[in-house]
Amino acid sequence: MARFTVLRDKASGGAAPGGTECDPCVEVAEIEPRDLRDLACDPGVLGIARSIPIRMITPQPMEDARPEDAVPGWGLAAIGGRRTVTEAVRLALLDTGIDRAHPAFAAARITAQDFVGSGLDDANGHGTHLAGTVLGALEGPIQLVLGKVVMDSGEGLSDRFLAALVWAAEQGACAIGYALTLDMGATVRMLRDEGQPETLAAAAATTLCHETLCLFARLRALLDRRHAARGGVLLVAAAGNDSRRTIAPGFEAGCVGLAAGAQVLAVGAVGPGLAVAPFSNTRPDLVAPGVGIVSAAAGGGTRALNGTSMAMAHALAAAGAWMPRARDAQALREMLLSRADPRGIGPHPGPFDCGAGLVRMPD
């Protein structure tokens, strides 16, 4: 038997395309291959995909960006500084959990849920760092909706992430941020461990990743329909840290997977001089500070990290600041893109490297 992710519509047992009434639900089922076709014929099932490994987008070391040289707060200053919101705003973050005991979160309004079964504590520290950036950028009635979707190792499964998306939207989040990617290598190993030959495992892993992305796209559309009355939900994703421009300028990777899609805002990273980070993937929608970012460390104190994860957290905070002015998620996305500033970004200030430009807080 194998683990599958099953997308259902609890409202109608299979809503007609384009209908507004829907109640998406992500279930996990252990299914024998021979039963898969029967399940696909169930009118209440809107999609099925094998549950596959995902992982946190790992922060990157940089020789010319030593943690001890990081300047606290440079990233927030670069996008316009801290902002106060006067209306209630809910932002969601799906990551490694949070160190709730950290003094940075003493007065924070946080709703949290564990989706991996290891508890909400963050032994990894990635989620704590991102939460510190988001909450440190905003004042006012901000609620952080936090889902732990990968284990402390940074590893997880696609079904937990998809279930957390549904949960975060139901909690009223106007924007959901994450720094996750499908783990192709781990998917190949999973299939090899099940007895598949190497060449078949590689081909099958590609198919499974494609099926998961199709399910992800279907769920995004359902969430927008489900929450149409309040304007839908904007997804804000880290573009990825796969490029290696320090080795050669052409060693670049594009923004794909969970960071791609019409309803996803992909965020690349820039450093203190506004140069695109050498690890940042190409074709983001916009960029944000992601090098030498100082924020909360699990266990107390602070630490500096580099990555498009850190950039995503700045963009998520900016989304929270813009949200009271936006009528819906699409308008919020358009505001973020139209107010982004490409000036000063190097070495190639074009959409291929920096999208619309550097994310900005509202005036």
2 torsion bin: left (phi>0), alpha (psi -120 to 50), beta (else): beta
- Write down the catalytic residue from 95, 183, 224, 285: 95
Can 95 be counted among the known catalytic residues? yes
Distance separating the N- and C-terminal Cα atoms of the chain: 55
CB environment 103-121: b (16+ within 10 A), e (fewer): ebbeebebbbbbbbebebb
Active site residue 126: yes
Contact 287, 273 (CB under 8 A): no
Query: Is 51 a residue of the active site?
Result: no
**93 beta partners:** 146, 177
Backbone angles phi, psi at 351, to 5 degrees: -60, -25
Q: How far is CA 336 from CA 80, 101, 234, 325, 352, in A?
A: 13, 32, 11, 11, 17
Q: How far apart are CA 173 and CA 81, in angstroms?
A: 23
User: What letter does residue 68 receive in the DSSP assignment?
Assistant: G
Other CB atoms within a 10 A radius of the CB of residue 16 amount to 9
Angstrom distance (rounded) from CA 182 to CA 188: 12
The residue annotated as part of the active site, out of 309, 314, 328, 341, is: 309
Active-site residue, from 9, 122, 126, 158: 126
Strands (E), 96-201: 109-114, 138-139, 142-148, 155-157, 175-178, 180-182
> Could you give the CA distance from residue 71 to residue 61 in angstroms, rounded to a whole number?
16
Closest CA to 168 of 233, 109, 117: 233
Catalytic residue ranges = 95, 126, 309
